[in-house]
Structure 1
């Protein structure tokens, strides 16, 4: 059996990459464990992991409140969890022997589609026919442009994240072969690794902010 086939499972005519599923579950487990450890012994003056989590949550909450209004608090747990999952996923491939769930387009597209589906469901729930009406404004033919925008949302979300994470992981392996020996250990081992860590943070933040912006269109109160 080919090695690629050994990592795939066929179910109901669909192919599932077992390695991606394993890495995804491992990342989710890490997020859960870190969250438990950070909140197990809460202190009035935060330190260590609790301090890091509080900075992340405080920063994201401020963005959520600014972009989504009073209803944003309902979706803060989802958006914060999404950011943490993406952040750990983006870094996961930097660990020897591991691969990032986000270096697979299926994972990113699945998350992007989830956000877009939530947008439309929430838009209909909160705004009803007004949400449908805005696709035809200011003139009815604009619905074509609006539909193209909606189709582009999950595509741009998923490909942006996929391209940056895959490029980072590939260059870690390629740079030592392209650079002189004096740089072969320094750049991949320190500089490029640090850059990939930075890119992982930026991409997780960008994906979360764009998701927040999209959801805001469906849940924001026009009277705010």
Structure 2
């Protein structure tokens, strides 16, 4: 789907990078997403008080609820992975929601963005596994008995590589599909056919896909933490 990129193209045009912004919109909006998250993270940290206000109460409930959910799945050992997984969740959610803003492009509708996120999530699960078990982490790939190592090792390697593909194409497919549907509706009926139903569905899909990415990342970390059998 072609976007006019009204806001950011004009901005980058002032600094001589208009062609670059138009050629790589996912990078442009990925940086915008990071800037927004950093700004609101700084603002939230600056606004924290001992007697929380309504907004602080809401965000504390959401963040602590996600943390407890993750600890329920991974055990207490997975708590140190929560900042990374939460950051990915917030980035994916905001990146998805950008597709609902006119003249904005969701960075998660580009396969390069989703591939990068998937690699980070899957590699981190292996880092946690090595930290938890040391060299014995290799047992996760060798199967239950030594005689079956030649069978289980390639299967496990393929399975772990497929995790990257699964995370990548699930998020990319859903967000690119939503962009395509919006583009078709706008082409057929203009701004009068698309707005409310598609925007509501888009917001729901954005939240679900962000949570699915969060959930799968959590499950991969939990699998790396548990003892190999």
User: Which 4+ stretches in 1 moved above 6 angstroms?
Assistant: none
Give the CA deviation at 1:33. Answer: 1.9
For this pair of structures, how many residues does the alignment match?
Answer: 205
Give the CA deviation at 1:35. Answer: 2.2
As a proportion of its length, which structure holds more helix? 2
Give the CA deviation at 1:178. Answer: 4.4
TM-score, normalised via structure 2 length:
0.81
TM-score, normalised via structure 1 length:
0.82
1:23 aligned to 2:29?
yes
Question: In the alignment, which residue of structure 2 is the partner of 1:13?
Answer: none
1:31-80 Cα shifts (integer Å, max 9, x gaps): 122223334333534413x2442232122101111112122221111111
Alignment of 1:41-60 (within 5 A): 41-43=47-49, 44-48=51-55, 50-60=56-66
For 1:129 and 1:203, locate their aligned partners in 2 and report how far apart those are by CA, in whole Å.
34
1:82 aligned to 2:88?
yes
Give the CA deviation at 1:200. Answer: 0.3
For 2:105 and 2:32, locate their aligned partners in 1 and report how far apart those are by CA, in whole Å.
11
For 2:115 and 2:57, locate their aligned partners in 1 and report how far apart those are by CA, in whole Å.
32
- Among candidates 205, 211, 218, match of residue 199 of structure 1: 205
Question: Cα RMSD between the aligned structures?
Answer: 2.3
Consecutive unaligned residues of structure 1, counting only runs of 5 or more, are 9-16
Give the CA deviation at 1:29. Answer: 1.1
Q: Secondary structure at the match of 1:97?
A: coil
For 1:37 and 1:113, locate their aligned partners in 2 and report how far apart those are by CA, in whole Å.
29
- Among candidates 92, 97, 109, match of residue 98 of structure 2: 92
CA contact (8 A) 1:94 1:169 kept: no
